[in-house]
Amino acid sequence: MASKSNQLSDRRILRWKAGKAQETSDTLIVEQALELRMADKTLAVLMRTPGNDIELIRGLLWSEGVIRRDEKPAELTRSDPNTIELHMDHELVKERWAERDVITSSACGVCGASAIARLEELATSILSDLEWSADKVTSASARMRSEQALFHASGAVHGAALFNRSGELVQCREDVGRHNAVDKLVGWALGESLLPLSDHVLMVSSRLSYEIVQKAICAGIPLVLGVSAPSSLAVDMAEQWRVTLAGFVRGQGFNVYSHAYRIVPQNTKSDAESVVST
């Protein structure tokens, strides 16, 4: 875990307001490169906010299909603050690690065609009976935001939060990259032996890109919420793998784009009693 001194940077700025300029300071989120290496070879360079780096790499490798359930866990070690070493069978990694540019920006997810092909190969439809009431959905964004210390300090970082069936916030992760935030969350869950997350809900502080949905499918998450819009491919993937996708989760409203049966009106039934026919 990085300290906030490694995640935030204070800079002198000139602030204009009402036609007047004033020298002051501003807090910026740190963006640095994290190198993933194996046997002296660079597999990827990720632009990220320092912190939870092992979780980030673990979540990325899971969503890429490099590490899989019922296999010996891959060993990850840190050789320096910005380098993670993967210790795994070389031929297996070569077979599973898709061709891509070595450097991946914080705005980038995995490569589209190869990611969807791996999803077809590895993932199964999500048949969770989870239900969430509409009031839980509308309150999720504020609950996530309350845990985003880096966002409150900088205003320039994405969040990903995991909630349980009862609506309790289980874990929250932040990063300058929205995909990184989700990978950190999935990596945490993998380290806690919680996968598949069939009794959980994912909330993200961004648009719902297909990469976000792909990572949710790999983690077995049945309900994904976002503060902004989904793309058409994200909705198509959610439809195919039976993920409930809700966007524009703001204030008291939201739009449901796929498998709407998992979101229900507020009622007196407990979540444990709620069973949805799939």
Residue 104, CB-side half-sphere exposure with 13 Å CA sphere:
22
pLDDT digits (tens, 9 = 90+) for 178-209: 999 999 999 999 999 999 999 999 999 999 99
- 132-273 architecture in CATH? 3-Layer(aba) Sandwich (3.40)
For the beta carbon of residue 98, count every other beta carbon within 10 angstroms.
14
Would you say residue 116 has pLDDT above 90? no
Listed by start position, the domains of the chain span: 32-122, 132-273
Alpha-carbon gap, residue 128 to 254, rounded angstroms: 22
Would you say residue 274 has pLDDT above 50? no
pLDDT in the model for residue 266: 82
pLDDT in the model for residue 99: 61
Question: What residues are annotated to the active site?
Answer: 108
Would you say residue 135 has pLDDT above 60? yes
Closest to 107 measured CA to CA, from 46, 61, 64, 161 = 46
Alpha-carbon gap, residue 110 to 9, rounded angstroms: 28
Single pTM value for the model: 0.89
Please report, for residues 26, 96, 139, 161, the alpha-carbon distance to residue 245 in angstroms, rounded to integers and kept in the order given: 36, 28, 16, 15
Would you say residue 7 has pLDDT above 60? yes
Closest to 185 measured CA to CA, from 35, 51, 6 = 51
For the beta carbon of residue 10, count every other beta carbon within 10 angstroms.
11
Listed range (63-77, 159-173, 242-256) with the worst mean pLDDT: 63-77
Would you say residue 10 has pLDDT above 50? yes
